[in-house]
Amino acid sequence: MTLPIWAGTFVVFAVLMAADLAMTRKAVGLRAAATSSALWIAAALAFGGALWLWRGPATAGQYFAGYLLEKALSVDNVFVFVMLFASLGVPTALQRRVLHYGVAGALVLRGGFIAAVRRAGDAGGRAHVPLRRH
């Protein structure tokens, strides 16, 4: 992927995150949460569609497989958040902000990891999985 495409992807994602944070500053009901989730899923599907047109069905299929896996794995995070918020006494009004900071931090760390692995690959090195036998 070229730098302009990465930059464009980052800008679109940053705008979506900022819009989500701005529109949900207060506690939201089930209907608003469902609408927000539907919009995020639509954005993910649109991105997958763009990948399909740009890079073909194989790349889009890999993206959709990864997206579905991440979506399935994120369900257990909801229970972890509920337990943490309850045990730490995080006020309901602050929970959404705490989640946004957590997501932003995870994205920054994940991006840094991906960049480091890519750089190691570009330098001719290999990224090793610690528990994998060679």
Mean predicted lDDT score pLDDT of the chain: 83
Q: Which domain does 23 fall in, by range?
A: 3-122
Please count the structural domains in the chain: 1
Q: Which of 20-24, 52-56, 62-66, 73-77 has the lowest mean pLDDT?
A: 20-24
134 part of a folded domain = no
The count of other CB atoms within 10 Å of the CB of residue 49 is 13
| pLDDT at res. 53 | 94
Q: What residues contact residue 85 under an 8 Å CB cut-off, 6+ apart? A: 95, 98
pTM of the model as a whole: 0.64
Percent of the chain past pLDDT 90, that is, above it, reads 28
Of residues 128 and 51, more confidence is placed in 51
129 part of a folded domain = no
55 part of a folded domain = yes
| pLDDT at res. 36 | 82
